[in-house]
Structure 1
């Protein structure tokens, strides 16, 4: 979703004090999303500190096959990854906890630097502390940014990376959160950001089995439901809204025509929410669409990669599920 041009927004605080963490970009996108039909909010905003913590809990659930499947794939690729350029700068998009990063760093020959990119700054800095201790001779950097938007190198980070060969890392099938058109734009932007000759290792889920998919996005313990509702808690805290998160039901659906899992927050009864001086009404059964997770088969993803300036170099497919790791070259 592209935000409208920024306007001066005044949070409805009787003392004229902005709520903690107030962001005009966040406010613009939430207002636009709640005014849309159907209502929707970009999944980027899931990842405040609490949202990042909850997502890490999701990755440890039995139902969430994606993390363990991709981790097993990475562990088996040590010899293949060792053939990538030595002394490389590793750049991870949406680094989160950086839990899988050591599997790549340990396989590469003498990586020179690691740059973690994520939108949740506090969680990002907390996560790389362990990497700094584990790899004391590795230059570890952070870039707090929305990787779904065009990225530019801050001069200090770019200078530190210099002429090192660049290897991008985008695990977790996070690319599935983009529509096909958005995914092509991201891949094109990543090619420009990493530069000519760079490699990109991307995790992509192509699973189509509803019996496997839906539990992964609607677990028995309700962690994914809490993750989904945390978006409303964040809107309340940062934008001064009055959502009742428990008045919304977490819903996961598989749209086979679009090959995507959708997450929604459903209002079982009519209700009205106030936000930044405006009122938004939910009808009975109306949903707020919060996330898509597209499932891209190998051939589909390779076409998208070629369309965005990458050459598919190699791919590896997991035995447990239709999860693949793709190695691309710019």
Structure 2
């Protein structure tokens, strides 16, 4: 068995499901303001739906980030240097990392870190086939906590943490600071961070991006309930909930919700959870930053500001930083 296949087998064997975190889920649904962690979006179906969201005309972050990458990848590669190990937190679609690997000088390794094992396996297999000189070593983990990095046949010159797509916005600002500290730990001294960050902007642009006309974001949001039904034996009726995304300008964030359309009681893991009509579950935050705000946050976590690229409409930013 190859190293990659062994790693994939281990990832599959170790893959937890929602059931292993049922205490946290019950805690969230039992709170005065009900909530579910956004990490539960990303089963195989959720990951596929998110890829569809990224292709929607209203969803500007992906296309804007890709345009920025295409424009500045030569400079990014020069800053990263040769023989880097690319460690992608929350590995999703291969599109962005392929662009990065195609421009880097002799990349030594690619370590996708993902909570959805099935999706991770598919992505890692494709990259291992297409980049035979890059050591592809997937890690199945909750990347909000420190994890063990694999060793590689070729010693990398530096670790590059890659976190595209503005996923950092899904965390509250204190949580984002904690995650950046984990990234600094995994980057190690002399390593680097390449991260996408969504910027504060016109609320109408944000509303359209998170309430698309095709209903893909709604399906993505409701898929959480489908997953709880499948993995915890819950009895959510999806038609009795609706997707809603609002922008809180004071907090600088989109708040994604699942709203109960009627009074109802749900059974989950042996417990009864009551919903009033119009009561909602918060499933995701998407925080937006100014450039100065994000740089200060990252510097507090142990990174030094390097280079920032912003599109002409100031919708999105990409930051390259070094770990001190």
Distance 1:51 1:176 in 2: 18
Question: 1:89 Cα deviation (Å)?
Answer: 0.8
Question: 1:244 Cα deviation (Å)?
Answer: 0.4
Query: What TM-score do you get using the length of structure 2 for normalisation?
Result: 0.92
The reply to whether residue 209 of structure 1 matches residue 205 of structure 2 is: no
Q: 1:69 touches 1:318 (CA, 8 Å); kept in 2?
A: yes
Q: Which residue of 2 aligns with 1:185?
A: 178
Distance 2:37 2:250 in 1: 21
The reply to whether residue 328 of structure 1 matches residue 321 of structure 2 is: yes
The reply to whether residue 166 of structure 1 matches residue 166 of structure 2 is: no
Distance 1:250 1:163 in 2: 44
Question: 1:304 Cα deviation (Å)?
Answer: 0.2
Which one of the candidate residues 255, 280, 283 is aligned to 1:287?
280
Distance 2:292 2:216 in 1: 33
Q: Which residue of 2 aligns with 1:250?
A: 243
The reply to whether residue 47 of structure 1 matches residue 42 of structure 2 is: yes
Q: Which residue of 1 aligns with 2:110?
A: 114
Which one of the candidate residues 53, 56, 62 is aligned to 1:67?
62
Q: 1:208 touches 1:259 (CA, 8 Å); kept in 2?
A: no
Question: 1:24 Cα deviation (Å)?
Answer: 4.5
CA deviations over 1:23-75 (Å, ceiling 9, x no partner): 44421111001110100011011100110011011001001111000000000
The gaps in structure 1 that reach 5 residues or longer are: 1-20
Instruction: Point out 4+ residue stretches in structure 1 off by more than 2 angstroms.
Output: 21-26, 149-153, 158-164
CA deviations over 1:235-288 (Å, ceiling 9, x no partner): 000000000011101000000000000100001210110011111110011001
**CA-atom RMSD in angstroms:** 1.5
Question: 1:161 Cα deviation (Å)?
Answer: 6.4
Worse-superposed segment, 72-81 or 297-306: 72-81
Q: 2:246 touches 2:255 (CA, 8 Å); kept in 1?
A: yes
Worse-superposed segment, 192-201 or 133-142: 133-142
The reply to whether residue 77 of structure 1 matches residue 72 of structure 2 is: yes
SS in 1 for 2:47: helix
Q: 1:78 touches 1:107 (CA, 8 Å); kept in 2?
A: yes
Q: Which residue of 1 aligns with 2:6?
A: none
Aligned residue pairs, count: 308
Distance 1:307 1:124 in 2: 31
SS in 2 for 1:91: strand
Worse-superposed segment, 140-149 or 287-296: 140-149
Query: What TM-score do you get using the length of structure 1 for normalisation?
Result: 0.90
